[in-house]
Structures are given as C-alpha cells and as structure tokens.
Chains A and B, each alone.
Chain A
C-alpha cells in the first residue's frame, strides 16, 4: 500500500543521504522524496512516498526514527491528510490542438506559464493521481517534457508535526 511519511530532520549536511542510504541499504522502495528547510532553518521537512506491506512500513518508520538526525516523523496515511505535488509539462500546441490543450488545462485547473508559437508550458498541482490523470487525458504524443516535484503532505486540522 502507498504511504506518505513526513519527517522532520536536522538541517545538516549528509542528513538526506542518511535517509536515502537507509532505503537503498534495506531494500525499501521510494516513489518520491522531497525535502526543504522549514520556517526553523535548523530543521528540514521531508516527505517520502513509499509502498510496502504493513510489516515493511513499520520497519521503515522504526529505522527512520533510529537515524540520529531524525527528530520526529509521522505516517500521514494513518489519518486525514492533504497531498500535493507540482508538475511542469511542456507540450506541443499547434493548429487545432492548441485550443484543445488550453481547454484541458482549464479543466484540470492548471495554468499556462510560458507560451511560444509552438508550445505551452503548463503548471499543475494536485495529488499524484490527478497529475497522472492529466497526462492520460491529453494527447501523449504532444508531451515534450515533464518534471514533477514528488508529493508534499500535511495532516488535516490539528494533526500537526512539529518539534
């Protein structure tokens, strides 16, 4: 099952590689991993999307907790949460397809952020599934380039992860 794990860790050189190294050393899979400093510059927040049986997920959270740089973590998928991912897509947009592409962007509530006479660059945010749905909805052959950030997540309401 897909899981989203949020991790607060010391914003120190090497902390990211400790997490990445843990996943590769123990054979856990990472679908995506995003990390950036928080409002407290000594802390980074990482969102890891992973998949595995309940036993594997239990081990992943325990092993992450064991890393000396990890301050706190939560499995967001244990409760209500919001997941967002940002995607930039460059698509070919010429002739009659140009208008159709614009319509699709509107339907998915994306934004066109760069325009040339041959292509559009589209910005889209949402869950990973929504981004997948957009890519499936447009003409595949029109896609020139995609870049995705991987998911960020946050708990709903008073589910708060902080030190």
Chain B
C-alpha cells in the first residue's frame, strides 16, 4: 500500500511500539503532526521549548530502558534540541530524534528555518541520517532505533525534508536492520574472562568500580551477585548509582571529585581494580598521573572498545555486553576452586573500616538554617528510598548523589557527562509519564530550575505530579564553591539576584508552591508534598548559602588529595 512520507513516519513509530513522542510542531513537520493527530496509538507530549522535549524523552529512556523519541521542526527547532541531544550522547542514552527539514529543493539555499541539521548534530550523535526519498523512511527509522538501542547506546537523528513527508511510497516495516558496517560485540573474550578471574583471585586489596554501563546494560543483579560472591568492596560513579544497592555493607558510596573518602582511598590504594561499564573520566580518577603513582592491575569490562585504554592503560581488557560478561564471570567464579585470600581481604576491610570512620559526609545537624544535605536525607526517608530522583547540575546534584541511597538502577536520573543545567524538570516529566504512579522528585537549585522553568506549563497540561525540591541558596552554588576555594572569594556573577517568588511562580502555572525556611519545617513540607498525589508541588527550600560539597578532589589533584570537611 502506498502511503505518504508523513504516514510512514507515524506508522514506523507505531511499529516500534513508541508510547510517547515529545515534541514541538513547526512548518517542516506539519504533515507529520497531521498524521499524529489522526491516530491515538502514539501519544504526543507538547513541551514549551525543544530542549525540554529532548530531555523529557531522555528521562523517559533512562527510567525505562526503552528508546526515547522526540520530534522537532527544522532550523531553530533543531538548534534548540542540540543541548538535549549532546546530553543524551555524553551519557549514552538510546534516543531517536526526528527533525523536520526544509524541502529538498530548498536545501542549501538559506531557506527560511533552514540549518544543516546533519552537520550541526554530527559531533553529538551516535549516527544521523538525512532521508531524501520517501521510500527510504521506513528502513532509516528501523536502523535509527537499532543503532540507538544496541552496542553502546546513543542518540540518532533522522532529518526528513518536508517534501519527503508528502511524497508517496510503498510501506513495509522491515523486521530487522542488518548493517555490514555496524556489528556491536556482545560476548566477552573467553580467554580474557579467565584471565580476569585469575587476577581477581590473586588480589590482596581488590576494588570493584562500576559506571553507567551497568545501568544501561541491565546488569545490576549480576553485579550484586558477583560482588557478594567475591566479598569485595564496590563503588559507583555518578552515572552508576543504583547499579549496586547503596545500603549494602560492601558499598563504599560514590567515588570521584565529590566521592566518599573511603571510596576514593580504596580506589587509589587497591592492587586489583575491576572496572565495569565505566570510563575513568577526569571527574572520577582526578589526575591520571597521580592515579598511576600506585601500582595496580586493571580489568576493564566495556561494550565500547574505544573506552578501554583511553585515559588509563588497562591490563585485562574485556569488550562485550556488561551483563553477558558478568554472567560469564559468575559462572567461571563458581566453577573455580580458588578463593580470594581471606586474610588479605580481612585486612583490607579493616583498612576500609578505618577510612569509613572518618565519616566524610558529616555536616552540622544542629544548624538554625536549613542544610541542603538534610533536605535530601529527609527526602530519602519520606520516599523510603523508592522515588525516581532527577537532578539538575551543581551542588544540589552532588548532595542528591551523596545522600539519597539508591537501591535500584534507573532511579537516579541526571546529566553526568555534559552537566546540563535545565535537565532535571523536563527529565522528570518523561519519568513521570513512564511511571504515572511513582513518586518523582526533581532535585534542583534556583539557578538550574530557571533554565527550563517553562516546562511547568507542560507539567500542568499533562497533570504530572512531580515534586520539585528547589535547594535555594541564591547562588550558583558550585560556581560559588570554586570561587571560594580557587578564586579568592571573588564571587564573579554567581549571585542569583532578582529571583522570582517561586511559590507565586508555581501558583501562576497552576501548581502548589511551598516556601520552607526553617529546619523544623523541612519534614512536614515534604510530607505534605508527597501526600498530594495529584499535584505538582514546588518546594522552595531556603538553604545555607555558605554550605559546600565535601569531600572534594580539586581539579588536577589526585584521588587521595581530598579536601575534607
């Protein structure tokens, strides 16, 4: 049967089982919108800015593991979406972005709302396509979903000129998309896995360090099984939180620039490091030279070969799907007659216990001003550790990562790689739509929230009962902290002057706003917010302006050179 290009696009989305498309209409995508209007299998969520659309689809993808889908028009629609696309790219989030383009005959003529979408997005996508013929739409969209969701996931842009959406072509949705140039590795190399087991058995001071790959690869159960079987300590990166249950004794907390003392010390002083789905980035290991001042054997499991030996030299590389490799490791471990040296392990845990006793996350609990950490602790208690928590970027993000104990994967949703302020609220929309009954909190600050504040309107339209936890210290807190530590207390442009009245702002969007100024009011306010199951509640916590995030590994320093409280 012959269909128009626009009909084909929508049929493809239906075939892929797409539940939600997050988007914003415009000239180049009018025919696609017309087809969306005529059906009800794929639901469209109208955002207020294209950045919000991409972040919302991203939040949906992160919390479900499915491919997020967004739809924007040509030109400014695309350029507005770029921040969101780059955010998804840096954190390897499966995502298909359909973008309108000016008609093929107008491409290159500086047409109204024209931009070189494929060119602009090329460095921040896993792949992109420009579809020039309606008969290519179906296969291209099939490939886009396949590429986005397999191997190391990532965003894929499909750019479709307006005339292609009106042209007619035969429609048949392909069952598979095989590509000779794209064959992601799944199974790890058996010999390397054997070598890894031998290395782990010989370890005196072992450490397991895992990242976003465990979440993306759906390997949290396997990780817990392996870690418990080995009896080794485990740390997660910012992207990996929830990959290992945070309340478990073997968990040392997050590592890195604002990681715990025990995690960073163990990372620095271990003799065998098992890295799983993590990439040794600058915020995680600090200065690589300092990291290498200690000898250790590194086993690195990752699906992306280019992540291995990129920043640090690896002794036992294993390329493969994290879950497959972990299963194989567990199998070989069970079959192995060797066991790790119990005496060495006991001594190592004693050392870790000593580091732990530094209580590196302590803060003044008797303060008369609200401490931001206490808000997160209360949030954790009230939601019984079972909420989906999105965040923006800055101090509040670090406190959320440090103080909310994530027990399960896909509950902690933040922009770790690109560090995109404005991510939290739209991401929470995607999460709430995917999990309508779940408690969803957006931990943010008065600076970040203003970067996508317009999405409060979307939240109203779709009745999304998100709880916005605004840690309001009237500063871009992390900028202020760096200025205090490294720029002689010169707070250049980091003070947030002329702030809106967030309570009135929330109310004007049709939501509930509550201002909280006293420590004693924190818990009741959170209780009230979460008891309002139907309402978005904007909680404006007026917090201590001078509070800093500790521990801190200053830029260029080593992991064991932390500033402690």
Question: In the complex the two chains form, is B181's CB within 8 Å of A9's CB?
Answer: yes
Q: Closest approach, in angstroms, between the C-beta of B136 and any C-beta of chain A?
A: 12
Does A147 reach chain B (CB closer than 8 Å)?
A: no
Assuming the contacts A13-B130, A14-B118, A18-B122, asked whether A68 and B179 have C-beta atoms less than 8 A apart, the reply is yes
Question: In the complex the two chains form, is B122's CB within 8 Å of A55's CB?
Answer: no
Question: In the complex the two chains form, is A70's CB within 8 Å of B119's CB?
Answer: no
* Chain B residue contacts of A66, Cβ below 8 A: 304-306
Does B126 reach chain A (CB closer than 8 Å)?
A: yes
A14 to B123, CA, bound (A): 12
Main secondary structure of the interface of A (DSSP, over half): helix
Interface string of A5-48 (1 = CB under 8 A from B): 00001100110011001000100000000000000000000000
Does A69 reach chain B (CB closer than 8 Å)?
A: yes
A26 to B499, CA, bound (A): 39
Assuming the contacts A14-B118, A14-B130, A17-B119, asked whether A70 and B309 have C-beta atoms less than 8 A apart, the reply is no
Which listed segment binds B: A56-64, A77-85, A92-100, A113-121?
A: A56-64
Main secondary structure of the interface of B (DSSP, over half): mixed
* Chain B residue contacts of A70, Cβ below 8 A: 181
Question: In the complex the two chains form, is B181's CB within 8 Å of A69's CB?
Answer: yes
Kindly name the residue among A21, A62, A70 whose own CB sees the greatest number of chain B CB atoms within 10 A: A62
* Chain A residue contacts of B365, Cβ below 8 A: none
Interface string of A137-153 (1 = CB under 8 A from B): 00000000000000000
Task: List the A residue with the shortest CB-CB distance to B313.
Answer: A55
Kindly name the residue among A18, A68, A69, A163 whose own CB sees the greatest number of chain B CB atoms within 10 A: A68
Does A65 reach chain B (CB closer than 8 Å)?
A: yes
Across the interface, B181 reaches (CB within 8 A) one of A58, A62, A71, namely A71
Q: Closest approach, in angstroms, between the C-beta of B183 and any C-beta of chain A?
A: 10
Question: In the complex the two chains form, is B306's CB within 8 Å of A63's CB?
Answer: yes
Interface string of A98-137 (1 = CB under 8 A from B): 0000000000000000000000000000000000000000
Q: 3 closest pairs, A vs B, by CB?
A: A62-B306, A68-B127, A71-B181
Give 18 A-B contacts (CB < 8 Å), ordered by A residue.
A13-B130, A14-B118, A14-B122, A14-B130, A25-B123, A55-B313, A59-B306, A59-B310, A62-B305, A62-B306, A65-B306, A66-B305, A68-B126, A68-B147, A68-B182, A71-B180, A71-B181, A163-B180
The residues of B with any CB-CB pair to A shorter than 8 Å are: 118-119, 122-123, 126-127, 130, 147, 179-182, 304-306, 309-310, 313
